[in-house]
Structure 1
Amino acid sequence: MAKPAEKAFYRFLVLFFNCLLTFGSYFCFDIPSVLQEQFQGNLTCPNSTVVNGTVPNTTAECVEGLGMTPQEYNLLYAIYAWTNALVVIMAGFLIDKLGNRFGVFLFSFLTVLGSAIFALGSHFKGTGYLLPLMLTGRLLFGSGNGSLTIVQNRITAFWFKGKELALAFGLTLAFSRLGSVLNFFFTQRFEAHFGIQWTLWGGTILCVVGFLAAITVSALDKVGMKQLGLDGAIQEESRKVRVQDVRHLSLRYWLLVLTIMFFYNGIFPFIADASKFIQDKYSGYSQKEAAYIAGAVYDSSLVLSATVGILIDYVGLRGVFAVACAVLTLPVFALLAFTFVPPLVSTIWLGVTYSFAAASMWPSIPLVVPQATLGTAMGLTTSVQMIGIGISNLIVGQILGTKSSDAKIPLWRWQRMMIFMLANTISCIITSVLLNVIDHRQGGTLNKTTKRSAVQQPPAPPDRDPLLEGEEGQEEEASVRSPSINSS
């Protein structure tokens, strides 16, 4: 009789709570994007009366807020990215060494702590404590959220490798993006009624929900490992992981990392400023409408992620999809830079290419790295990705740079920003083409379906040799028994 952990319902139950890990943190991540006017708004407004950002009986619009400059606002995103870049490398190694249960508790707690300090900082507007507290909060939040995503992907890869891997990654992304979508739909309304401070505290409460999910998924993972008889073997494998193993990661892996970095360089910095861009360039959009349009990137991703995951599991061609996503993203930034086509067209289009990119690129990592060091590989990937995004956010801040917190940014500055996004997308095309060339020379693993790869792929192609001396037999045994990614 099959044990519960061997049945499909069990792994999908693990997946459900695993998805909830980052629901709240993804909601919190883009709160500044929705409330950019409030973050950069005036400390006080005339007549002490503000209704939805407009002062009655005056011709000038006044938004009461925290008084940040555009550079300070973009620094909130940059420090998140830089923190990820520094923390996730060690976090990935620690997860490989100490297991998922250690990581899931620590990093979900950091998201709660970071979001709480970020919310606390908003109570000190007009003082010298505002920016340091909010940057500290984003720093802790970033160190937790980026690392938590590694644990989340690692758990998903263990339970679904060789089965519905792209579907599982797609559903994980969909749940995360549900948090982002709800943020774009409800945060501005909530802030209009309760103010920015209570809005930020509401995000903290959602992070607490993620912490409760962490407790649940940890328990399910522990019980499942014992039922599968893998707990002891995986712990033994973890003790053999070494930092030096990084040098064995292949050229194919690093090209995949660069492809991910350049693609996301065009996504996240754009979304961070999209709401204000829409209001500055296109006439007739309120802050609420601009937030809805910017959030359409996540709306499309939410709707398509599961379907795209099923498609990619069936047809494979992950490398081909990576190239296609980059090529099809070029027109998005071209339209935004050089035309006045309604911005909703571009944000929906970007959401579609983003869905295919996320479902094809990230699930490719377990296929090109040794299983014992998947956490370290995920950490390195996230680190490089966040270094790129952090640099991009700083460059965007300089391109848009103005010392006035509420001034309308000239269109020529926005155009330069979109050209910068185009440059990143072109770089993504180059690296993804090279990735396909190298992959073709090494057996074409990325462009096979999951089931065919499992059957046809040689036991140890050049870039998937076991990193640990003397583990060849162990890895072959584990691959027959179960997908042996450390999940202790």
Structure 2
Amino acid sequence: MTKQEVNLRDSAVMRWSALGIVAFTMMAAYFVNDIMAPLKTMLESNLSWNSSDFGYFTGAYSFLNVFLLMLIWGGLMLDRFGIRLTGKLATILMVVGVALEYYGITVKAADTTMIMGHKAGVFFASAGYSIFGVGAEVAGITVTKIIAKWFRGKEMGTAMGIQVALARIGSQAAYSVAIPIAKNTSLSMPVIVGFILLVIGMFAFFAYSVMDKKLDKQDKFIEEEEESKFSFRDVKDILINPGFWLIALLCVLFYSCVFPFQKFASELMVNKYGISDDIAGTIVGLPALGALVLTPLFGSVVDRRGKAASIMMLGSFMLILVHLIYAIPFLNNWLIAITLMIVLGIAFSLVPSAMWPSVAKIFPARQLGTAYALIFFIQNIGLWGVPNLIGLILDKYCVVGTSGNANIYDYTLPMVVFTGFAVLSLIVAYLLKVANRRYGYNLEKPNISK
């Protein structure tokens, strides 16, 4: 590197530009991830799905990641072969998966073909969503390692917060536009929109790879990595670290109270609070909208003030209040529903802004890809199991009537289940704070080096 050449990481313009490019890819991924959630009732009416079918489809996102360990292999690949190759393959998988999901949605309801005990359309849509899930999760850990690479010793919490916030914009857009698009065009059109965004996101990541390659040539990051290169022995070191298990358990419990809940929440808004289905998705997307401002703000607090472990406890406690009040049958005013979604958005911003930078404090750089992959793997167990559980509960215990070809559900019991997960997340967050004092993870200290 010449004396006049500015290191890309030290250039604020370049590191924030790199963040913006990969954040767009994740924003497209989150749009696709949530685009089907508001359409649950329409899937029942138009394609003869039921809640169990919807739960199976939603859980399929994590099926390959959990049962074929694809996410773990992706993490190992990330640490062994690097960001560029892993990220490119991940974006390609997302595009292929959504194409298959589209095919499943276009299978006619009259087709009674059963595949592995499921309707043909449900099976193909779920298979595509599962392939997409592999790509999305591997892309997620890749982007997280990218941020750790570009922002180490700098505004890492803020950067991760902004990335999460932009991803939530994708979620909010999906919840807001899914039903209007489907009603005015076709049930499959929202998936087509997601496919187009993902193709653009794939090319965006390929463009980022040029920047990443240049950084590797001029920066010492890779040289340091090679001096202490990842080995499979590092997996053992990760697994015996108490901080890993506490972060992983907090992750799976917290996110099991958020993402699966949001998949069913549009129907909750309609059935319990009498909110029109045209705007129910927008209300469910409020946490994503709030995250646009709050996650970078909280990330900046963690960067400059620290207190990550305490922030994770606060977010978990707020989640308990949200689900507990949703579970109370007679509190059915629409203003309560909106208020709780806003509180959920605050909790949803607090925990990620503190959790993900904390992983970079607990593990060295050479282990980060695998550590994130293992944490995401455990998270995916919840993202697979909880939607299936909620769908089963709804079909067996919560049907209280019908409207057209769709069932009407009482969501009290599912919300009690979510409340239980939230209570467990608070307990684990407290244990993480205790472990931080015992093992010296420095989670309560600021991220920015002085």
- For the criterion TM > 0.5, the same-fold answer is yes
CA drift at 1:35:
1.2
Secondary structure, counterpart of 1:138 in structure 2: helix
Tell me which amino acid in the other structure corresponds to 1:192. K
2:6 aligned partner: 3
CA drift at 1:406:
4.1
Tell me which amino acid in the other structure corresponds to 2:182. E
Secondary structure, counterpart of 1:21 in structure 2: helix
2:365 aligned partner: 371
Distance 2:123 2:347 in 1: 36
CA drift at 1:183:
1.1
2:116 aligned partner: none
CA drift at 1:237:
5.0
1:107 aligned partner: 90
Deviations 1:436-456 (A, max 9, x none): 1111112250000113xx57x
CA RMSD of aligned residues (A): 1.7
Tell me which amino acid in the other structure corresponds to 1:32. M
Choose 111-120 or 186-195, whichever is displaced more. 186-195
Q: Is the 8 A contact 1:313 1:450 kept in 2?
A: yes
Alignment pair present for 1:266 and 2:257: yes
Which of 105, 116, 119 does residue 99 from structure 2 map onto?
A: 116
CA drift at 1:295:
1.0
Deviations 1:393-451 (A, max 9, x none): 1211111115989443342xx11111111110111111111111111112250000113
Which of 342, 355, 360 does residue 354 from structure 2 map onto?
A: 360
Q: Is the 8 A contact 1:67 1:125 kept in 2?
A: no
Residue correspondence of structure 1 range 206-245 to structure 2 within 5 A? 206-231=197-222, 234=225, 236-237=226-227, 240-245=229-234
Tell me which amino acid in the other structure corresponds to 2:306. G
1:279 aligned partner: 270
Q: Is the 8 A contact 1:88 1:379 kept in 2?
A: yes
CA change 1:237–1:211 in 2 (3 A) is: farther
Which of 79, 88, 97 does residue 71 from structure 2 map onto?
A: 88
Which of 313, 337, 343 does residue 327 from structure 2 map onto?
A: 337
Distance 1:299 1:176 in 2: 10
2:176 aligned partner: 185
Distance 1:316 1:304 in 2: 16
Distance 1:292 1:190 in 2: 13
Distance 2:260 2:405 in 1: 19
Q: Is the 8 A contact 1:280 1:408 kept in 2?
A: no
CA drift at 1:110:
0.5
Structure showing greater Rg: 1
Distance 1:233 1:430 in 2: 37
1:419 aligned partner: 416
Secondary structure, counterpart of 1:445 in structure 2: coil
CA drift at 1:244:
2.9
1:434 aligned partner: 431
Distance 2:409 2:107 in 1: 31
Which of 36, 41, 48 does residue 40 from structure 2 map onto?
A: 36
Distance 2:176 2:50 in 1: 25
Alignment pair present for 1:351 and 2:345: yes
CA drift at 1:7:
1.5
Q: Is the 8 A contact 1:32 1:39 kept in 2?
A: no
CA drift at 1:134:
0.7
2:293 aligned partner: 303
2:54 aligned partner: 73
Alignment pair present for 1:449 and 2:434: no
List runs of 5+ in structure 1 lacking aligned partners: 42-64, 456-488
Alignment pair present for 1:409 and 2:425: no
CA change 1:163–1:232 in 2 (3 A) is: closer
How many residue pairs get matched? 425
Choose 157-166 or 221-230, whichever is displaced more. 221-230
Q: Is the 8 A contact 1:156 1:168 kept in 2?
A: yes
Question: Percent identity among equivalent residues?
Answer: 27
Secondary structure, counterpart of 2:36 in structure 1: helix
Alignment pair present for 1:381 and 2:375: yes
CA drift at 1:232:
5.2
Distance 1:382 1:201 in 2: 27
Q: Is the 8 A contact 2:55 2:392 kept in 1?
A: no
List runs of 5+ in structure 2 lacking aligned partners: 114-119
Choose 98-107 or 184-193, whichever is displaced more. 184-193
CA drift at 1:23:
1.4
**TM-score, length-scaled by structure 2:** 0.91
Deviations 1:300-325 (A, max 9, x none): 11231222211221111000101111
Deviations 1:228-250 (A, max 9, x none): 2544554x358x42223211121
Residue correspondence of structure 1 range 38-77 to structure 2 within 5 A? 38-41=42-45, 65-77=46-58
Choose 340-349 or 160-169, whichever is displaced more. 340-349
Secondary structure, counterpart of 1:450 in structure 2: coil
Q: Is the 8 A contact 2:165 2:293 kept in 1?
A: yes
Distance 2:407 2:307 in 1: 44
Distance 1:389 1:230 in 2: 34
Distance 1:88 1:321 in 2: 27
Secondary structure, counterpart of 1:408 in structure 2: strand
Which of 307, 311, 314 does residue 321 from structure 1 map onto?
A: 311
**TM-score, length-scaled by structure 1:** 0.84
Distance 1:204 1:225 in 2: 31
